[in-house]
């Protein structure tokens, strides 16, 4: 779904069907969708999905909105450049509002807005609040959720994740809204006595040139908890606050973590998922050890994470071998 900021145009079409587009009226003026689409690399006769908002005003002073339609559609470029050669197919109008200039506006989900006066109508290409998924609490076991961050798997039961020492585990997370990644936290659920124990966490981008595997290092949070004894007692442990946190935009990312421990007794564990209830991002479903693709692994053993990511070397690990941890990333 392509989305642009400040991209708008007019239309010459009334009713509920596909729109023939027109240049942005002045005022308000703007960058039209044809100019924008060609600037980001689309050519003649290209078609691609967009998010759009249609606003009809009471007149061309553009001061009072009469009605609005919001949805997903397909922008169709013409055989030659120019907004007049473009059309917008409304494939899924999510809602419409009528009577916004009166005392009793009507809001309707799933209906298509009918344009009355084309000359009074603007078409915006871009996301709105309706496109943004609310940010849920990241981990119920910690009690204070990360801002806009949720693990890729949800579960009706929770388990203790036991991990091989000096191994990097990559798992997919989804960031729901823009955050500055400043702090990583986890919940120690199985302790390790004596010796040394550390938990290290990092965030990686997906590499589109390498089948979506972990790529560019975005943020290395360093060690969580007390250096050398992170798993000495159960409870929440956190990294130090990053001095210059990166702005992380909504999307899918790889979270990396590794446990480095030796010389003590017990098996350190992080609170994590059991068997997922529903299908996950990768299209899997079911429960128990029949699931695969929980994590990718790579050889670790050093405190710092490499940039780019160490290439995964192990097989895809399923529920019977490892569980996805609740490791949250916070803005503070």
**pLDDT of res. 282:** 33
Mean pLDDT, to the nearest integer, of 47-73?
Answer: 92
- The pTM of the full predicted model, rounded to 2 decimals, is 0.53
pLDDT for residue 237 is more than 80: yes
Q: What is the secondary structure of 291-331 as a DSSP string?
A: ---SBEEEE--SSSPPSSPPPP-SPPB-TTT---B-EEEE-
pLDDT for residue 129 is more than 80: no
**pLDDT of res. 162:** 53
**pLDDT of res. 85:** 97
**pLDDT of res. 76:** 93
The 10s digit of each residue's pLDDT in 244-263 is 887 777 777 888 989 999 99
**pLDDT of res. 169:** 85
**Lowest-pLDDT range of 104-113, 164-173, 228-237:** 164-173
Q: How far apart are the first and last CA of the chain?
A: 31
**pLDDT of res. 135:** 45
**pLDDT of res. 315:** 57
Mean pLDDT, to the nearest integer, of 53-59?
Answer: 96
The 10s digit of each residue's pLDDT in 293-309 is 457 888 888 889 999 99
pLDDT for residue 140 is more than 60: no
């Amino acid at each position: 779904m392509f989305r642009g900021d400040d991209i708008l145009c007019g239309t010459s079409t009334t009713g509920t069907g596909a729109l023939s587009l027109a240049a942005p009226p002045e005022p308000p003026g703007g960058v039209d969708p044809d100019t924008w689409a060609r600037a980001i690399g689309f050519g003649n006769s290209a078609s691609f999905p967009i998010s759009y908002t249609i606003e009809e005003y009471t007149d061309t002073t553009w001061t009072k909105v009469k009605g609005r339609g919001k949805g997903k559609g397909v922008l169709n470029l013409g055989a030659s450049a120019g907004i007049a050669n473009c059309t917008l197919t409304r494939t899924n109008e999510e809602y419409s509002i009528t009577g916004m200039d009166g005392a009793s506006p009507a809001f309707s989900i799933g209906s298509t807005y009918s344009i009355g006066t084309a000359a009074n109508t603007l078409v915006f290409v871009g996301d709105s609040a309706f496109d943004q998924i609310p940010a849920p609490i990241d981990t119920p076991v910690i009690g204070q959720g990360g801002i806009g961050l949720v693990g890729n798997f949800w579960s009706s039961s929770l388990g203790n994740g036991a991990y091989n020492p000096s191994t990097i585990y990559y798992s997919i997370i989804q960031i729901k809204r823009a955050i500055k990644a400043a702090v990583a936290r986890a919940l120690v659920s199985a302790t390790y006595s004596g010796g040394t124990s550390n938990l290290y966490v990092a965030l990686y981008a997906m590499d589109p040139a390498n089948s979506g595997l972990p790529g560019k290092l975005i943020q290395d949070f360093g060690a969580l908890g007390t250096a050398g004894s992170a798993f000495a007692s159960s409870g929440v442990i956190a990294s130090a606050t990053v001095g210059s946190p990166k702005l992380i935009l909504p999307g899918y990312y790889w979270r990396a973590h590794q446990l480095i421990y030796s010389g003590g007794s017990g098996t350190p564990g992080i609170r994590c998922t059991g068997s997922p209830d529903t299908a996950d991002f990768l299209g899997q479903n079911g429960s128990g050890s029949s699931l695969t693709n929980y994590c990718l692994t790579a050889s670790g053993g050093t405190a710092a994470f490499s940039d780019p990511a160490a290439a995964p070397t192990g097989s895809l690990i399923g529920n019977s071998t490892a569980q996805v941890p609740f490791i949250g990333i916070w803005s503070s």
